[in-house]
Amino acid sequence: MTTATVFFTEDHEYVQVDDDNIATVGISDYAQQQLGDIVYVEPPEIGKIIEAGDEVAVIESVKIASEIYTPVSGEVIEVNELLDENPNLVNEDALGDGWLFRVKMDDESELGALKDEAEYDEYLEELS
């Protein structure tokens, strides 16, 4: 992957966008800590067309099942198959190997509605 910029939602999803408008989506480190040990991830189907804000995946932890909403619109082009065998990767490296799915973005302007890392950090401080 080339240089990526990271954005966050107030629901604690993140999106890393590379130079080719490929968005890697996952949950923030804060979210995985709140969920606890993750035991199952149900990703969206490859080829599915999704709209920003759509419920597209589910993460189950020992505590709760949580819906995942996509921060961006486009076509799902890849899912993290490593999570089939090791869903705990989300706990170990949420913003790295624990990503959930990738989207070929339709509209880069949607990123303007998201928080950058500094804004997200401030948001987390307000929550505590």
Reply yes or no on whether the pLDDT at 2 is more than 50.
no
What is the C-alpha R_g of the chain? 13
Give the other-Cβ count within 10 Å of 121's Cβ.
12
Q: What fold does the segment set 5-127 form as a domain?
A: OB fold (Dihydrolipoamide Acetyltransferase, E2P) (2.40.50)
pTM: 0.94
Query: What pLDDT does 79 receive?
Result: 98
Inform me whether the pLDDT recorded for 82 exceeds 60: yes
